[in-house]
Amino acid sequence: MTRQLLPFVRMRGRDVDEPGRVSSPLELLFDLTFVVAIASIVTQLAHAIAEDHIVTALPNFLMVFFAIWWAWLNFTWFASAYDTDDVPYRLLTMLQMGGVLVLAAGVPSAFEHGDYLLITTGYFIMRIALVVQWLRAAAQDPAGRATALRYALGITVVQALWIVRVFTVGDWPFAAQVAVFALLAVCEMAVPIWAERPRATAWHPHHVAERYALFTIILLGESVLAATSGVQSIVSAGASSGEFVLLAAAGLALLFGLWWVYFLEPAHEGLENNRRWSYYWGYGHYLIFVALAAVGAGLEVSVEALAHHAETPVTTIGYAVAVPVALFLVMMRVLYRPLIGPTVVPPALSLGGAAVVLLAPLVAPATSLAVVVLAITVVVALVVTLTIVVRRPRPEAAPVS
């Protein structure tokens, strides 16, 4: 629903039953900045896999992706409850977009040198803008003041801890650095749970579900971009072959299959009927999103391997695709079962499909990576097909007299 832009609108909680609530053009523009950040992190992971440095690169990938995902998540849920779309709101959103771009610029340094200063700076810019938004909500929405002030305080305290971390743990063992990061990540996720104890924010289930769906499409798009970049490099080098064509086709079909699995069931109905599961569903999406990003990196390095530009064993490269696909299938079952009930992908299909996917890379030395990706794609296609065939039909709504 399009609203007229006004210079200033009093910030109040929006109606959770507001009809026609969809993502605003500003939210779509905001998402574009994350395309840059995600593209950078996918490229860095792909290079690490190709150079057989996955063990050291994976923790950095998970940590940087958390920063990207958490910044996006905080904006999304705040906007769902308090989007006024006036001039101050738009300017503060623009500031957050600038922070995302600074964060994206710091991704190579984090992977190559373990230097998180630029990423922390970008994160700081985004968080300061969000704190101002919450303080504005506290000042203008008396009903939600206690919750808004708790958010502002919690975000500020944890952000201060991130700044302390970046200046103190640089000489610590890498395992200790990861442990500190994990602790602060838990603190971040505890802030909304603590802040909403006085009064829950008025987030809109249809709007939130659509925002998550759009982020899923962005991640799938990054996989397409990663695979395309590899394709272009091989074509430019004149090394294309039938195996390359098979890999490209199987990769595209795999992404389509993952998209289909994600959209098998509408999440908005589950969020509307089971709001108490919102934290579980919203936080758990970190694993779904990180899996989709990792698939993109796996496909990119698979294409590079065809041109013999990868130093990693083919079985390891196969697992770079198989492991995130298996994680995605399992998490789709784990996250959606409490939300929408037995109509979700049956456990025999999700868990069984994941198990078969994890076996596929074992045939890579005897066949090829193209065959491995094709086998994974076939498994995902079977999961989709059999779910549609065997799932229980939705009960029809009773007619309104």
pLDDT at 4: 62
Q: Are 42 and 65 contacting, i.e. CB atoms less than 8 angstroms apart? A: no
- Work out the end-to-end distance of the chain between its first and last CA atoms, rounded to an integer number of angstroms: 28
Phi, psi of 308 (to 5 degrees): 60, 35
Q: Rounded distance, CA 370 to CA 299, Å?
A: 10
Q: ∠154-8-209 over CA atoms, to 5°?
A: 55
Give, for all 401 residues of the chain, the pLDDT tens digit.
455 666 888 998 888 888 888 899 999 999 999 998 999 999 899 989 988 888 888 999 999 999 999 999 999 999 999 999 899 999 999 999 999 999 999 999 998 888 899 999 999 999 999 999 999 999 999 999 999 999 999 999 999 999 999 999 888 998 999 999 999 999 999 999 999 999 999 999 999 999 999 999 999 988 777 667 666 766 665 656 677 878 888 988 999 999 999 998 778 888 888 888 899 999 999 999 999 999 999 998 988 887 776 778 999 999 999 999 999 999 998 888 888 776 667 888 889 999 999 999 999 999 889 999 999 999 999 999 988 887 655 554 444 33
Long-range contacts of 142-148 (CB under 8 A, 24+ apart): 143/13, 143/199, 144/13, 144/199, 144/201, 144/202, 146/198, 146/199, 147/195, 147/196, 147/198, 147/199, 147/200, 147/201
Q: Which two tokens stand for residue 32?
A: 């574009």
Domain residue ranges in the chain: 25-195, 205-390
pLDDT at 287: 97
**Burial class, 132, CB count within 10 angstroms (exposed 0-12 / middle 13-18 / buried 19+):** middle
Q: What's the pLDDT score for residue 257? A: 95
